Amino acid sequence: SAVAYAVTIAAVPKLISLCSTHWRAVSAVAYAVNVVAVSIPGRIDGEMQEHARRRKAQSANASASSPAIPEDSEFRSLFTPAGWAFAIWGVIYLGEGFGTALQVANAGDVAAVRGVVPYWACACALQTL
């Protein structure tokens, strides 16, 4: 939401001062919170999946080729990608985890990483929404 975005952006100056001394911890905690938050059931994508599963189980003539989200569903949109399209998130999280591990291990240009960490923490925070 817009309020969460504004609060996150407003926190950047405080994050910058915190990151000047504890930037490795901030990076690791931001990524950990992100992973935990997106793993918790109850997000809208989980609701859509559960709704589709119930509808399919109730339908006597549901076939394997029927759409994942029924035509009359409240979750239906103009463009609903296939379930496999979301596999990219596995690659994204592996890359984020690798980048976080490099930051914590002090690999690369420390000054550059230290300057990026506040924005990385904000990105992780916004991803949890």
pLDDT at 5 over 80: no
pLDDT on residue 50: 72
User: 20-79: per-residue pLDDT in tens?
Assistant: 667 788 888 889 988 888 887 766 666 666 776 777 777 655 555 555 555 666 656 667
Read off the pLDDT band of 19 (50, 70, 90).
Answer: low
pLDDT at 97 over 60: yes
Q: Are 80 and 68 in contact (CB under 8 A)?
A: yes
User: 75-92: per-residue pLDDT in tens?
Assistant: 566 676 777 777 888 899
- Mean pLDDT in the chain? 75
pLDDT at 118 over 60: yes
pLDDT on residue 77: 66
Read off the pLDDT band of 94 (50, 70, 90).
Answer: very high
Higher pLDDT, 14 or 71: 14
